[in-house]
Every structure is written in C-alpha cells, then in structure tokens.
Amino acid sequence: MTLAPESNPTPDELEAWAARHVPERAAAPKHVEILDDIPHTAVGKPYKPELRRRAAEQAARDALAKTPLADQVQAVLADGSVEIHVPHSDHDDEVTQTLSRYAWTWRLTSTQPHTRRHR
C-alpha cells in the first residue's frame, strides 16, 4: 500500500484499519511497518528477499519477546533465504524451544567459533 503524501497514520492505526476492512481475519496483518522506500532490484522491481528478511526478523523478535534477547535478534540473507541469528545466553533452552516451532533456519551465535545451526 502506498500512503498519500499528506497522510501520517501510525502502524497501529493501519493495523486497526486492516482488521476492520480485511474480510478474513487470518489475512489481516499482524504487524505493519511504514517504510520510506521499498528496497528495489537493479531493474526496479521490489526486492522481496529483503522484505522477507525484515518480516522474519520482526516475527522472531515477537516470538522471543519474553526473553531479554528479543532486541538482539538479527535476520540475514544467506544463499537466497533468511536465517535468524540469536546470541548464546542463559536462555538458550527457551530460544531453542521457541524457534523450533517455526520453519526458519536459525542459529545461536557467539564470539566463539562453535555455533549450532537448526532448521
């Protein structure tokens, strides 16, 4: 959706609007992010992998919201797909249990060379 230049809705207002106007509840967005510009490829098409990366990062942060790691989640593009990175911590068991519910490729990262990769 493109906003009119003079409009200034908040993400919450747009989520509420969608909840009222999208006929199927499951199709309404759970998160709205307002971008100044959509990332594009060299030929001008929307760069969907970057949009997926942003969406996956937000979803992983939401999933881990009850841990202190939520704001440390990073999503990266790896070989054309999105990989979620979460730092090792005292919450590794909770992170593993939470992220294992999703079809993401994810990794507990550390400054040490050893990392565990999951899918």
Residue 9 domain-assigned (yes or no): yes
Domain identity same for 30 and 53: no
Domain identity same for 29 and 52: no
Q: Is 77 exposed, middle or buried (0-12, 13-18, 19+ CB in 10 A)?
A: middle
Domain identity same for 8 and 52: no
Residue 23 domain-assigned (yes or no): yes
Question: pTM for the whole thing?
Answer: 0.73
- The predicted-structure confidence for 72-115, as pLDDT tens digits, reads as follows 999 999 887 889 999 888 888 888 889 888 888 888 886 443 34
Domain span at 78: 47-118
Domain identity same for 53 and 108: yes
Domain identity same for 53 and 12: no
User: What mean pLDDT comes out for the span 39-56?
Assistant: 92
Nearest alpha-carbon partner for 68 in 54, 89, 51: 89
Domain identity same for 58 and 101: yes
What confidence category does residue 118 fall into, taking pLDDT thresholds of 50, 70 and 90? low
Write down the residue that tokens 């106007």 correspond to.
21
Look up residue 96 and give its amino acid. T
